[in-house]
Structure 1
Amino acid sequence: TGYIRGGCSPVGMKRRFPTYFHLSAAGRPFIYISAGVRGLQLRVDPAELIPFVGGALADISHRQESEI
């Protein structure tokens, strides 16, 4: 992407990238995302953020049996 690792935000990128959110994000009143500067976070409502960035909810992680 050409961006500094740890400073990438789903908002304000020069070009659009597919953005996926874990299913659990939909049930939360807020989540934290990168504010575009390494070490700075932004608190946002996922119900507003996901459609704004054209994101999608997905089952993107799972626990291994040893973690249960």
Structure 2
Amino acid sequence: MAKKKQSGGTPATVALDRAGVRYAVRSYEHDPAAQSYGLEAASALGVDPERVFKTLLVQAEDGLAVGIVPVDALLDLKAIAAAMGMKKVAMADPALAERSTGYVVGGISPIGQRKALPTVLDDSALGFDTVLVSGGKRGLDLELAPQDLLTATRGTTAPIARR
């Protein structure tokens, strides 16, 4: 997989370029009427939804945290809380998520956020050579190795997805 640079890029691509991480830019025409941004991406890019991951923010006891799960799954709040050593978490308010990350809902990338947040990637990602995550705007995904995603986010893995 060749490293592709984008003119100007997004904070996510800039962060990956700075870190020397190999990735591929995968873009598609976003449909504003799409019911699910993640499933739209999987369909438009012709990729199994199990390989396309969505970025969700949770409100933890001591601030925000990031959960990354397949687009065809739900984030198990008890599982991510346990993975972070906490009793409970709740989904973050979308406006707070946007302010914290610098991205818009539907385009929140786990990479290149304004502030580094604790991040947990569902362990199913480790079963693939590459996965796709938002590149920082709707209609833009980045394909990279799960280990590179973990390196870029300083994340950990745990079984946090629920089907």
* Larger RCO (CA under 8 A, 6+ residues apart): 1
**1:57 — aligned with what?**
157
**2:140 — aligned with what?**
40
**1:8 — aligned with what?**
108
Cα distance in 1 between the residues matched to 2:159 and 2:114: 27
Matched, 1:29 2:129: yes
Deviation of 1:38 (Å) = 1.1
Structure with greater proportional strand content = 2
Cα distance in 2 between the residues matched to 1:58 and 1:39: 27
Deviation of 1:42 (Å) = 0.8
Structure 1 length-normalised TM: 0.79
Identical counterparts, % of pairs: 37
Question: Which runs of 5 or more structure 2 residues have no equivalent in the other structure?
Answer: 1-96
Cα distance in 2 between the residues matched to 1:38 and 1:17: 21
Q: Looking at CA atoms only, which structure, 1 or 2, has the larger radius of gyration? A: 2
Question: Which runs of 5 or more structure 1 residues have no equivalent in the other structure?
Answer: 64-68
Structure 2 length-normalised TM: 0.36
Q: How many residues align?
A: 63
Structure with greater proportional helix content = 2
